Structure 1
């Protein structure tokens, strides 16, 4: 006897065996018991979710010799005949191959004849959306008013393709994908009856791979059983599916998070050498990061995905922010799209991995995540200080070191006190000023006026009592420190900014406005359409660059060529472009044009110092032999006023002298 596939052997024979469609089975059981059967039904839903199986169960139930019943008995001649397809009163039609008007007319002509054996003729039309428009029109009248002995059951995976006139003549039931717990329960029953040796984790991988289709899951089980000589393992399932295990994807994801390009590419190359397709690898990585987002943001059950139980996955999910995971998915999704139009899919996969690791590409996301962390920490510190103020006055807390609670703010205060015993007096002045800044930042305006003077006074008393240096030396060094600060300010004011001065870059990076930058980038290429015909040569040149940083005063634009930067920074050209930019954006902004190599060098330097915890970061000067300093043009214009007019102004004053210009 020929082998019968598992999905056919274990096709549901009654409503009790249907997995995951309780809302449908309950409705039909109540309708069958009360005899309220409609003349036409429309079943819609994904493949392999039980549409045709439930249609045959209904056909058996309405014609069962024990009817009316809420479930077919499966023992009478009618039930067995319908299961064996030996009763001609239950007609299954594939609309994909029988979609013409003539074939539907043939159905329409035959429905008027009484059934031969059963009580009802049941027409089950699968993939009904494949019928032609003419065929649907031919079916309309019959579907609306069929003979009493006829029931139509239409099944489709694409209900949006069904005409509204058909919808209105049917009762519609929407089938949903089978959940992983329900699918696993059904697979366990089949495994027990077939006595299959399989790992429990492999069963769950099969259920996850089926994507809600029960038939797909049973077919995959049948296939892996044939593939494996002994007990079925997870590796066997992935070998049949051509997919990659989550554990291997997790190793790649960790190397990406650690910015290890060499290791990431090597791991992917090994998988490709094992026969994995680049498209499938990228698709698996997208699914992996999707699971990470669900784990981070949704109350997930460990049973839903096997990877949720992995401790390394949980640790990695906590370390990666939502913004970074979204960035990874966006890069991978673009790579998957580009792979469709190339014969070298591996190339796009490798480029995607490099882009995911590249620090320049994701620096904005890292900055934003760090900024959010700082905001939450400041908010936490504010709440702690408010709690302390309600429990005990702040000055008493500082006076009694032993009573200081273990909070972040008080730990900082202790650090100042402890450091004062070892550091130089000038350094202590820095610490006092830092304390004042933090307190002023965390308190509201009213709180500062009331609390800060007392706090600073108490801190100074503690510091002065703990310092071992002579008070005269301390005050002397303090004066030196203040004097040096004033001198530095004077020097800063005296030294003029150069054309390509690093202080421009420092100011933008230390005080960047990401939202402003995003808004400007969205409209950047519209600048050319905004310009007049005379201005278009200017706008075409400046929009060849890319805005890489911005704040309320200055934007930095990156260009491939240093020669272009030199031209854009010339005074006449710059004044023209500033006017166009400010009119277009309705703002008052200046710009700095930098070569791409210079920008990458300085942004990397900034990131490195920022990660080391530096504040108010200072960068090394810009050094590029191709950049030319633009000489300052004397703004004073030669005075062309006649001598007689000058003499009149000297005698009568400039307010009383008016010069009448002659006509040209």
Structure 2
């Protein structure tokens, strides 16, 4: 007996075997069970998604000897006859080759005759959009009022070509592409039935290559099985498809990211020698960067694409910005169009790789992303902003013990090994409400002086006076008392609320203040007490800019207006913040009810910034203010001259 292709052998025989069209199968199962079948249907959707298969299942179900039934029995003579195409009451017509008026008139003349064996005559017209205008007109009246024993099922991949008069006479069902998990499940069923030795990765690549078409996936599986007598691997699938493996694509992308044009072109030559075509390589690279954009910008399951399990791919996704990826895709898309008009496609591919590596092109993209930032900081800031823009606002941290007090600092600091102590059952202290912890000892052991509200003087006995004296000193730009006040009175809920709206500041800021909004969101809120926040920045120069009195005055007003409550802030570099937060944790472990005092902030790059003279600023030209905002007051010198 002649070999029968897998897609024909495993053509769905009932609705349960249809993959990925639950919204359609459920509708028809209910309609068949309740005997509510319409006289005309229009099936539209991509190729290989089950349009003709469902049409034949409906034909079997309405004519089954056990009807009304939601699924054909596939056992009675009528069901088997329709399956074997031996019953003439189910007529399949290819409109691509029978698209004239005469063929439709013949159908119109024959519909009036009763079926020979079955209960209903079912006309399945495939690729119905290929019918001529005259043929559509000849079909209209019959389609609108056919005899009671006739059902029309029209199938098409291009529903926009169907006249509106046909649409209005049919119930339309839109088929969608089969998802990768659904397609993989159906392939596993076939593989188990046929006892095929194939790797899971190869099955995933087959499902991805089919692009939503179940028939294409089964046909590719059939072809790959014939390609090798051994276990089917990913390389076998790529060899049959002519596509490039994910590992090779990652190597090319990594060379592009490293600006290594020599390595990129060398990898291209290797792929060409392996028989890969340059146009197919461009197509694969576009899909590669498309997958990277989807991974960066959506909450996607890692099992959706095989490439998402590649560590180098994930690293590149975190290092490249959206603008850079769009730049790569634009270059590749233009190359793909240019290849259509040349006989030397490899030449255009080489030019595309060189352009993608070109530093000048990349520098322009980086400059646009960073909005007038200094050139030596552009790349580091861009990568940091990209990573923060798509990362969760509140990062989950592992707590050392279930009975550990719920402090606010674990939400902004990774606990160190020496910060884990034994759980204390009677410890009610929480950093979110430290006032409760300190009110009790103050009221019982040491009376509070009248009118004293200093949060930094809550120390026992003799040191009290000295600390009161210190608290009267003017605050410095980077005064550790800011940090103490926030950490000792931390409000976890306030921090979560602020972080959730953090990146919305740019959306609600006026255009003239957009630069300040960009500066704000470059940092990250790591702690707050509801009235004051600590904002962490990657380096000290950014902190110095944010703590300049003229900048801080504008930023404080923006934050207060945005959160609808008075808010002050202090900006700290990452290394300083980590040092102070760990120091706070260590001292808190030693005495959980005391007001924690920290050592002064010391950092060689943090500058003490003089107070801003508001009166003088009124006489400062706008151009000088802009220069100070961009480069800092230390770098700007105003030369006096004749007016």
Question: What TM-score bracket applies, with the shorter chain setting the length?
Answer: 0.5 to 0.7
Report the equivalent of 1:127: 127
Q: What are the superposed Cα offsets for residues 31-59 of structure 1, whole Å, 9 maximum, x if unpaired? A: 10111111100000000000000000000
Asked whether the 8 Å contact 2:48–2:215 carries over to 1, the reply is yes
Q: State the alpha-carbon separation in 2 of the partners of residues 82 and 164 from structure 1.
A: 31
Q: Deviations over 1:96-137 (max 9, x none)?
A: 000111111011111111100000000000000001101111
8 Å Cα contact 2:179-2:212 kept in structure 1: yes
> Contact 1:63–1:78 at 8 Å: present in 2 too?
yes
Write the distance in 2 (CA, Å) between the matches of 1:246 and 1:72.
Answer: 43
Q: Distance in 2 between matches of 1:9 and 1:446?
A: 69
Superposed CA deviations along residues 348-387 of structure 1, whole A, max 9, x for unmatched, are 111111111111122221123344875998xx9xxx9xx9
Q: Distance in 2 between matches of 1:114 and 1:73?
A: 24
Query: CA offset at residue 435 of structure 1?
Result: 5.3
Which residue in the other structure is 1:444 paired with? 553
2:359 match: secondary structure: coil
User: Cα–Cα, structure 1 residues 400 and 218, in superposed 2: closer, same or farther, change >3 Å?
Assistant: closer
Partner SS state of residue 32, structure 1: helix
Output one character per residue of 1:231-274: Cα deviation in whole Å (capped at 9) or x when no partner. Answer: 00000000000000111100110110010010001101110111
- Please tell me the root mean square deviation across aligned C-alpha atoms, in Å: 3.5
Match of 2:174 in 1: 174
In structure 2, relative to structure 1, the CA distance for the partners of 1:400 and 1:132 (3 Å cut) is: closer
For residues 131 and 391 of structure 1, do their structure 2 counterparts lie closer, same or farther at Cα, with a shift above 3 Å needed? farther
**Offset from partner CA, 1:483-527 (integer Å, 9 cap, x none):** xxxxxxxxxxxxxxxxxxxxxxxx9xx98xxxxxxxxxxxxxxxx
Instruction: State the Cα deviation string for residues 317-337 of structure 1 (Å, max 9, x = none).
Output: 000000000000000000000
Q: Per the alignment, in what secondary structure is the counterpart of residue 301 of structure 2?
A: coil
Q: Residue 532 of structure 1 aligns with which residue? A: none
Residue 10 of structure 1 corresponds to 10
Q: Classify 1:279/1:398 alpha carbon distance in 2 versus 1 (closer, same or farther; 3 Å).
A: closer
The within-5 A match list for 1:579-658 is none
Which residue of structure 2 aligns with residue 557 of structure 1? none
Question: Is 2:316 the counterpart of 1:316?
Answer: yes
SS, match of residue 87 in structure 2:
coil
Higher helix share: 1
CA contact (8 A) 1:397 1:403 kept: no
Distance change (3 Å), C-alpha of 1:435 and 1:6: closer
Please give the TM-score of this superposition, normalised by the length of structure 1: 0.60
Deviations 1:570-615 (A, max 9, x none): xxxxxxxxxxxxxxxxxxxxxxxxxxxxxxxxxxxxxxxx9xxxx9
- In structure 2, the gaps of 5 or more residues are 389-411, 413-431, 433-453, 457-470, 488-518, 521-539, 558-567, 572-601, 603-622, 637-643
Find the counterpart in structure 2 of residue 93 from structure 1.
Answer: 93
Asked whether the equivalents of residues 46 and 157 of structure 1 are also in contact (C-alpha less than 8 Å), the reply is: yes
Matches within 5 A, 1:344-363: 344-363=344-363
1:200-238 deviation per Cα after TM superposition (whole angstroms, max 9, x unaligned)? 010000000000000000000000000012000000000
Residue in 2 that maps onto 1:266: 266
Q: Match of 1:25?
A: 25
CA contact (8 A) 1:187 1:203 kept: yes
Q: 1 CA distance for matches of 2:286 and 2:148?
A: 52
Q: Deviations over 1:304-328 (max 9, x none)?
A: 1111121211111000000000000
Question: Does 2:411 align with 1:302?
Answer: no
| Partners of 1:397 and 1:404 within 8 A in 2 | no
Give the equivalent residue in structure 2 for 1:212.
Answer: 212
Give the Cα–Cα distance (whole angstroms) in 1 for the partners of residues 164 and 103 of structure 2: 22
Aligned counterparts of 2:327 and 2:554: Cα–Cα separation in 1: 39
Structure 1 distance, partners of 2:555, 2:39, is: 76
CA distance in 2 between partners of 1:438 and 1:252 (Å)? 43
> Do the aligned partners of residues 370 and 127 (structure 1) sit closer, same or farther apart at CA in structure 2, a change above 3 Å counting?
same
Q: Could you tell me whether the CA contact under 8 Å between 2:546 and 2:552 is conserved in 1?
A: no
Return the alpha-carbon distance in structure 1 between the equivalents of residues 556 and 225 of structure 2.
Answer: 73
CA-CA distance at 1:400 after TM superposition: 7.5
Task: Give TM-score, length-normalised by structure 2.
Answer: 0.62
CA displacement 1:517-565 (0-9 Å, x = unmatched) = xxxxxxxxxxxxxxxxxxxxxxxxxxxxxxxxxx9xxxxxxxxxxxxxx
CA contact (8 A) 1:398 1:404 kept: no
Q: Mark the CA change 1:391 to 1:19 in structure 2 (over 3 Å): closer, same or farther.
A: farther
Tell me, in whole angstroms, the C-alpha distance in 1 between the residues paired with 2:304 and 2:51: 24
Corresponding residue of 2:290? 290
1:251-650 alignment to 2 at 5 Å? 251-371=251-371, 395=474, 438-440=547-549, 442-444=551-553
Taking a change above 3 Å as real, the CA distance of residues 112 and 391 of structure 1, as seen in their structure-2 partners, is: farther
Give the aligned partner of residue 152 of structure 2. Answer: 152
* Native 8 Å contact 1:255 1:261 kept in 2: yes
**2:477, 2:547 within 8 Å by CA — same for their partners in 1?**
no
Corresponding position of 1:109: 109
1:69 maps onto 2:178 in alignment: no
Distance change (3 Å), C-alpha of 1:37 and 1:265: same
CA contact (8 A) 2:545 2:551 kept: no
Q: Is the 8 A contact 1:90 1:123 kept in 2?
A: yes
Distance 1:131 1:165 in 2: 14
- 1:163 Cα deviation from its structure 2 partner: 0.6
* Consecutive unaligned residues in structure 1, runs of 5 or more: 410-430, 456-465, 467-506, 512-550, 552-609, 618-664
Aligned to 1:221: 221
Q: Is structure 2 residue 353 aligned with structure 1 residue 244?
A: no
- Deviation string 1:172-208 (CA, Å, 9 cap, x unpaired) is 0000000000000000000000000000010000000
Deviation string, structure 1 residues 379-405 (Cα, Å, up to 9, x no partner): x9xxx9xx9xx9878945779879967
Aligned length: 430
Separation in 1 of the partners of 2:143 and 2:455?
78
Q: Counterparts of 2:144 and 2:483 in 1: how far apart (Å)?
A: 83
2-structure distance, mates of 1:132, 1:391? 86
**Is the 1:302–1:309 Cα contact (8 Å) retained in structure 2?**
yes
